Homo-oligomer: A and B are copies of this chain.
Amino acid sequence: MKELSKLIGYRESVKVFDATLRDGGLVNDFRFTDEFVKALYLANVKAGVDYMEFGYKGDKDLFDEAKFGPGKFCDDEYIRSIVGDNNTDLKIAVMADVGRCNYKRDFAPKAESPVDMVRVATYISTIPTAVDMIETLHNLGYETSCNIMAVSTAQEGDLRTALDIICQSPVDVVYVVDSYGSMLPEELARLIEFYKESANKYGKSLGIHAHNNKQLAFANTLEAVGDGVDYLDATYSGMGRGAGNCAMEQLLSLLRNPKYNMFPVLQFIEKYMNKLREEGVVWGYDVQYLLTGILNQHPRTAIAFTKEGRSDYAEFYKEIVIQD
């Protein structure tokens, strides 16, 4: 039952979550200048955005610091150099991937950190570790979310079991993640229905993270908010891996809560996002991403196709359809 028709009013519980530095960081190895990050922070504050994700909490034993910008690791000192004491309504988030972070070593107690929320990204196969991370981070005082990736290729029964386990943890938000940008709004609606079964049972909020392979990231976010999902991921200019995400400017154009403000977003885009594109950073919808989306595949082949400057779509489609 969609509530979207009511959105000429608005739902207090809806939160806008800016994932530009994190999902966008996958495009440029997190090499954003401090000027960019500070301006983005200020734009988010002015725009009334609820959460801003600074990047990943990557394990420095696994990743070479020289090969990435600071958003790959999100040291508290780095975040503090941007936000100071963050005396604003904007909450700060970081993402931690199961198996690619050292969550027992790298998180200070919340009272000593500028971070408010940690988003735990997991596959269905690593749910027990995700739950251990959520418990650890919750006990340190952080808000937590659990982002289950690649669910469009999961068995429904496995996903139901995973949701039931996760929703019994102290997690605050469970995200529906369309990793491959493969879902149609109707399919997403079905998925949300059974996320809601577990979430409602244990009093959890739901979130949506959409990819734009089929140019449906905004439409799917719309579908989700109409179906009762509250945490809405977006990125400026839709910047994100491959086809990118739901664009912040699209999302704010929809939401009627008077606290949201479109102008700072437009000003940031014209000054900073267009410059990134001019510098040769490439993301966004293109035919090759549509094709991996259709086939419900990870976009890595389409990303390689893009990097190689190819445009032989028909040949590419043959390559990815026929995989022995």
Q: Which residues of A come within 8 Å of B, CB atoms? A: 2, 4-5, 184-186, 190, 212, 214-219, 222-223, 226, 237, 247, 249-250, 253-254, 262-263, 266-267, 269-270, 274, 285, 287, 290, 294, 311-314, 317
Contact = CB atoms under 8 A, between A and B. Distances in A.
A226 B5 contact: no
A40 to B, nearest CB: 15
B313 A266 contact: yes
A190 B8 CA distance: 15
9 contacts: A4-B184, A5-B190, A214-B250, A215-B247, A216-B219, A250-B290, A253-B290, A262-B317, A270-B314
Contact of A222 (B2, B184, B237, B274): B184
A248 to B, nearest CB: 11
A284 to B, nearest CB: 9
A314 B266 contact: yes
Given A219-B219, A270-B313, A184 B214 contact: no
B219 A269 contact: no
Nearest to A254: B184
Contacts of A250: 214-215, 290
Contact of A253 (B214, B263, B267, B311): B214
Contacts of A311: 270, 274
A226 B184 CA distance: 11
A5 B193 CA distance: 14
Contacts of A219: 185, 215-216, 218-219, 222
Looking at A247, A262, A314, which has the most chain B CB atoms within 10 Å of its CB?
A: A314
Looking at A212, A311, A313, which has the most chain B CB atoms within 10 Å of its CB?
A: A313
A215 B217 CA distance: 9
Contacts of A269: 287, 313
A270 B5 contact: no
A212 B219 CA distance: 12
Nearest to A218: B215
Given A237-B287, A267-B313, 19 more contacts: A2-B186, A4-B184, A4-B186, A184-B222, A185-B185, A185-B219, A186-B226, A214-B218, A214-B250, A214-B253, A215-B215, A215-B250, A216-B218, A219-B219, A250-B290, A253-B294, A266-B287, A269-B313, A270-B313
Closest 9 A-B residue pairs measured CB to CB?
Answer: A219-B219, A266-B314, A266-B313, A4-B186, A253-B294, A267-B314, A270-B313, A270-B311, A263-B314
